[in-house]
Every structure is written in structure tokens, then in C-alpha cells.
Amino acid sequence: MRRLLGLKDAHDRWLTGQLVLADVVEFVAFSGEASDVLQALPPRARRDPAGLVLGIAAELAAQQPLEAMHSIAAARAAGIELELLDAVLAGIGLQGLSLRDAGAIRPATWLLTAAAQAQAVARIHARTGRFQGSGVLIDAGAFLPDRAGQPALLTAAHVCCDAPGPLPPGWPAPLAPESAEVRFPGFPEAPQPAVHTLTAVLWRSPVQALDACLLALDPAPALTPLPISEVEVHPSQSSIYLMGYPEGGPLALSVEQSSVTAVHDGLFEHKLGSAPGASGGPVFQWADQRLAGIHRGAQGDARQGVLLAALQWLAQQPT
């Protein structure tokens, strides 16, 4: 009875144009679908704080994280406190996208962190304009201690490298570093991001090994390199997410529960959605939202990534 009375009060406020954030929880708890409630809202109410939050809930339920990032920015601009956004979205039962077992995750905070991480995700082109792949900005000191504090581009060796070694049959040749241009479009995407060139290969692992290349940038980007996760990646337990520019299109973010299916020989297999062009893009641990690896591509039916921990270990071995 108390739930019905609460729902009636919420409905009365809806009819009088005085809907409040707590009503969003009442409606969604009753209907089970944020998108259904959103569609029923009058257009004006969709622009009110309650409607904005309901829109975010619907976008998360529909697996549209980038749209939700935009909506969270709009809600913050409308004066809605981040803590309130987290509380209401969690109250609806959304624990951040599709990760139903994510515990005490704060959905709005998680998405804002992902949006900040997107600033360090690179698009790699040939100087002719042809798109080549994705990459990520890290501190070179994570691989080479004597270069601590130097921002560097990490990507897959089959995307851009001077000495990639033998390639699997049918794989195109990587882009030579001196022929590359690198941009960090960010999120929302900057209309004219700065262009960086690659001046040196700092370290590499051939394609048939761990398929990675660390390169110096000029000018050094005025961006924060991404920190590396200390959480171990486990098959069937770790949830990860991937960012990149598949097919050279806009930034894409893919996330799925228990997405790691195998870990072996410095590599991990996963079931995240991806497409050509995402190779070299960063893969993050859900648990701490830090960099865990880079996407390598598909090998047969499996999608593969390279573990950052394995790359760090290999880079610091005597040569």
C-alpha cells in the first residue's frame, strides 16, 4: 500500500509539472523499464532534472554509454549534484551499464571517469589521411624507468612500428612511424585536435610476440597519461572495457560483464564488441578503471588483448 501511495503522489506531481528525482525511482521500480517511463513523460518534463536523470537511466539500460556521458554532462550543467545522480541511478537498480554484479559502483561517477580517460585515446592516421588504428597515451616510465615523466604513445605493433617482424597471413603492413600523424580528439570530440608526429620508437615487441610499440610524440601532448592497473586480470572473473576508433569512426566504448574468457602467454581473450581500427586501443579494468592492456584484434574466433603487466615485465628485461 505504501508503494502505491508513493506512486500516486509521484503521479500527481507529474501531472502538475512538479516531478522530483525521487519520483523517477518510484516510476521505474513500478514499470521495470526506464525507457518506457521516459517515453511517457511530457516533452517539457524530459528537460527537467528528473527527466534528465531518467534519460540517463534509459541510455544505460540500452547500452548507450557515450550518449549517457553527454546526458550526465547536461545534468551537471543543470545543477544536479554528482552524488545525487549516483544515488538515483543506483536506486533504479542500474549498477553501471550491464554489469549487474558490479557492487557499489557509482554509475555517473564511473561514466565521468571514462569520459576523462577518452582524452588520452589516440587516432593514428597516415599523413595521406588514411586511418590506421587506435592508441593510448601512457607515461614511458611505466616501461622504461629512465624515461619517467615522458608522455608516449602505446599501440599495437601491427598498427604502427618500424620493425614489426613477420605478420600473420593476410594482415596489412603496419604504418611506418615517420609516416604517421596522431591526434587525441577527446570526448566530446574536438573539431580540430592538435597533430603530433612520432619521432622515435622507444620500445617494441614484434607482432608474433606481444604485438606492441611504444613511441615518442612531438609535440608532447598537454594531457595526463593514463595510470596502469595493479588488479590482475582473471578469466571468467574480470570485467573490462575497451575504447577506440573502429573503422576510423567516432570514439566507441564497449563494456561487458565477465568479459575476459582466457589469459595465457601475456595475452587475454575477451568478448567485447570491436571492429578493425580498434586495434591498439586501451582496455581498462572495471574494478579500478585503470589501464590493463591494449586491444590486439581477432585471432580466429577469439578477440585478443595484450596485458600491460606482461609488456612492462618484458620491457624491463636485460637485452
Alpha-carbon distance 231 to 287, whole Å? 8
pLDDT > 70? residue 63: yes
Domain spanning 121-218: CATH 1.10.730.10: no
Q: b/e for 105-120, b at 16 or more Cβ within 10 A?
A: bbbbbbbbebbebbbb
Asked if 131 contacts 173 with a C-beta cutoff of 8 angstroms, the reply is: no
**Angle 6-94-37 from CA coordinates, rounded to 5°:** 50
Strand ranges of the sheet holding 197-205, from the earlier edge strand across to the other edge: 180-183, 121-126, 131-139, 151-155, 212-218, 197-205
Asked if 221 contacts 151 with a C-beta cutoff of 8 angstroms, the reply is: yes
> Domain 240-315: what homologous superfamily?
Trypsin-like serine proteases (2.40.10.10)
115-119, 170-174, 194-198, 219-223: the lowest-pLDDT one: 170-174
For residue 6, name the pLDDT band (cuts at 50, 70, 90). Answer: very low
Longest dimension (CA), the chain: 73
What percent of the chain is modeled with pLDDT above 90? Answer: 44
Residue-wise pLDDT for 267-317, tens only, equals 999 888 778 889 999 999 987 899 999 999 877 667 899 999 999 999 998
Quick one: three-class SS letters along 119-145? HHEEEEEECCCCEEEEEEEEEHHHCCH
Residue-wise pLDDT for 225-234, tens only, equals 999 998 888 8
pLDDT > 90? residue 107: no
What is the pTM (predicted TM-score) of this model?
0.85
pLDDT > 50? residue 1: no
Alpha-carbon distance 107 to 244, whole Å? 21
For residue 96, name the pLDDT band (cuts at 50, 70, 90). Answer: very low
| Cβ neighbour number for residue 77 with a 10 Å cutoff | 9
Query: So where are the chain's domains?
Result: 2-94, 121-218, 240-315
Which has more confidence, 62 or 162?
Answer: 162
Burial of 13 (0-12, 13-18, 19+ CB in 10 A): middle
Q: Give the CA count within 13 Å in the CB-facing half-sphere of 148.
A: 2
Q: Which stretches of 97-195 are assigned E, i.e. beta strand?
A: 121-126, 131-139, 151-155, 180-183
Provide the pLDDT for residue 101.
46
Alpha-carbon distance 133 to 280, whole Å? 7
What average pLDDT does the chain have?
82
Summarize the confidence of residues 169-191 as an average pLDDT.
92
What percent of the chain is modeled with pLDDT above 70? Answer: 78
Summarize the confidence of residues 63-77 as an average pLDDT.
85
